[in-house]
Amino acid sequence: MSEPIPRLRFQRHQRMVRKGDFQRAYANGARARGDQLVVVAAPNGLEHARLGLSVGKAIWKGAAQRNRVRRMFREAFRLEQQRLPAGYDLVLIPGKPKLEPEMVSLRAELVRLARKAAERQRAKVAAPKDGA
């Protein structure tokens, strides 16, 4: 008998909602850029990854377009949450203006960039500071 398929949910505790969380991620996080998105990763002190979305009006004027991109980013996070680095806040930003993400490539790119940004963050913390 095969193992049961895990239920992949996107729950409230997996969301970044406070302005301070985003500011901390932008100030202290490491970035990784791909074709469809930019990932900012910052340690969160939790045992799971959290998702923050930054889809601005400057790129997509219409709310329907912005919401579609947000839904795709959330779905990619939900489906790939087991493969993402735990203990990081991940802020997702669209990589290129007006690019319509494709789910299959978006999922692969999310995992690759999240791991890359987390690795850069670990290297940033481990590197000795100048003048110390």
- Whole-angstrom Cα distance, residue 59 to residue 117? 23
Helix (H, G, I), strand (E, B) or coil at 130: coil
The total number of residues shown for the chain amounts to: 132
pTM: 0.85
Q: What is the mean pLDDT of residues 101-111?
A: 91
Read off the pLDDT of residues 36-78 as tens digits, 9 standing for 90 and up.
999 999 999 889 999 999 998 887 788 998 899 999 999 999 9
Q: Which domains are seen in the chain, by residue range?
A: 12-117 (3.30.230.10)
At 9-37, the pLDDT tens digits run 777 778 898 999 999 999 999 999 999 99
* Residues 90 and 55 sit within 8 Å (Cβ to Cβ): no
Angle CA 51–78–24, to nearest 5: 10
